[in-house]
Amino acid sequence: MGEFSLFDLRVIVERIEGRSVCGLKPGDSFEVTQSSHIRIPGGGHFCIYALSAILPLLPAVQRRLADNDWLQHDTLVACPDPDERVLMRIERIGERTLRTEDHT
């Protein structure tokens, strides 16, 4: 069939401007690899509400973007909880080639 490339990503808690009720702290992270695998290092956790804010953006950031695409430059995403104000940063950590036939 063919091949395509995607970036592996790391999402890192950049800072918390409110109070962290969910237990996240700066430096907490998770990685998205092989298109759809989520790995949380060291048996940690990640708040599902913070995760819900960032999940819709990940498929776009996994792909090559035009130089003037806003997602190419705006890497911070805010958790929807106004009391916590958790800011997360998306970074690309590598690129891999995948086989089209292995994915739906």
Domain count, the chain: 1
Per-residue pLDDT, 72: 81
Per-residue pLDDT, 45: 92
Q: Considering only CA atoms, which of 19, 88, 83 is closest in space to residue 53?
A: 88
| Domain limits for position 72 | 3-102
Whole-Å CA distances, 99 to 18, 34, 58: 43, 11, 19
User: How high does pLDDT run on average in the chain?
Assistant: 90
Query: Would you place residue 103 in the very low, low, confident or very high pLDDT band (cuts 50, 70, 90)?
Result: confident
Question: What pTM was computed for the model?
Answer: 0.89
